[in-house]
Amino acid sequence: MKNYQYLTSGILESYLLGLVSEDEKQEVERLAATDPEIQAQLQELELDIERHFLENAVPPPPALKYTILEQINKTEIKKWGTEKDDQSKQKDSDKSSDKPNYIDVEVDDTHIRVHKYWRPAFIAVFVLSKIFLILGLYYYFKSSSLEQEINRLKATTEQAAPTLPKQTQ
C-alpha cells in the first residue's frame, strides 16, 4: 500500500525532472535500489518523459547551424600544454567571468508560427462575439419598443377611463 501511495504521489516525476530536494532525491534513489517496482516505474516514466520531449521538440532555426559552423571555423585549434595556451586560457577565463558569451541568432522567417488550433478558436470566438452583439442589440431595441408600447397604452387607458372618486372607509 505504501508503494502505491509513493508511486501516485508524483515524486518520481519530480525526481526525473530534477525538481526534488536533496533528501527526496536520496530517498528515491534508495527506494529504487531496493524495490524493483519503483525502479520499473522510474524507467517507464523516464521513457514517457523522453518520448514527450522528443515529440514536442522545437527545431532550431536553420540559420543557427550556419552561425555555429562559422564560429567554429573562426576559432584556432591550439596544441595542448603549450605556454601560450595556458596564458590564453587565463585570459579567456577572465573575459568569460566578466561578460557571458552569447551567440546572436537572427531568424530570417517573417511569419509568426502559432499552434494550428488557435485559428479555429479565434474564428469561433469572433463569430460568437458577433452573434452576442446582434442578440444584444435586438433585445435592446425590442425592450425599448415594448416600453414605448406600454407608455402608449397607459396614455390611452388614462384618456378612456374617467377618474374614479376615492372611496373613504
Q: Is residue 42 part of a domain?
A: yes
Check residue 79 and give its pLDDT.
58
Is the pTM higher than 0.85? no
Residue 50 lies in domain: 2-55
Check residue 48 and give its pLDDT.
92
Q: Which of 55, 78, 96 is the last residue of a domain?
A: 55
Q: Which of 35, 55, 75 is the last residue of a domain?
A: 55
Check residue 71 and give its pLDDT.
84
Q: Which of 55, 73, 95 is the last residue of a domain?
A: 55
DSSP the chain: -HHHHHHHSSHHHHHHHT-S-HHHHHHHHHHHHH-HHHHHHHHHHHHHHHHHHHHTPPPPPHHHHHHHHHHHHHSPP--TT-HHHHHHHHHHHHHHHHS-----------SPP--TTHHHHHHHHHHHHHHHHHHHHHHHHHHHHHHHHHHHHHHHHHHHSPPPPPPP-
> How many C-beta atoms surround the C-beta of residue 10 within 10 A?
10
Q: Is residue 142 part of a domain?
A: yes
Q: Is residue 97 part of a domain?
A: no
Q: Is residue 125 part of a domain?
A: yes
Q: Is residue 152 part of a domain?
A: yes
Check residue 64 and give its pLDDT.
85
Cα–Cα distance for residue pair 29/38, rounded to 1 Å: 10
Average pLDDT across each block of 10 residues of the chain; the chain has 169 residues. List them in order. 76 88 90 89 91 87 84 71 56 59 72 82 96 97 96 91 61
State the total domains in the chain: 2
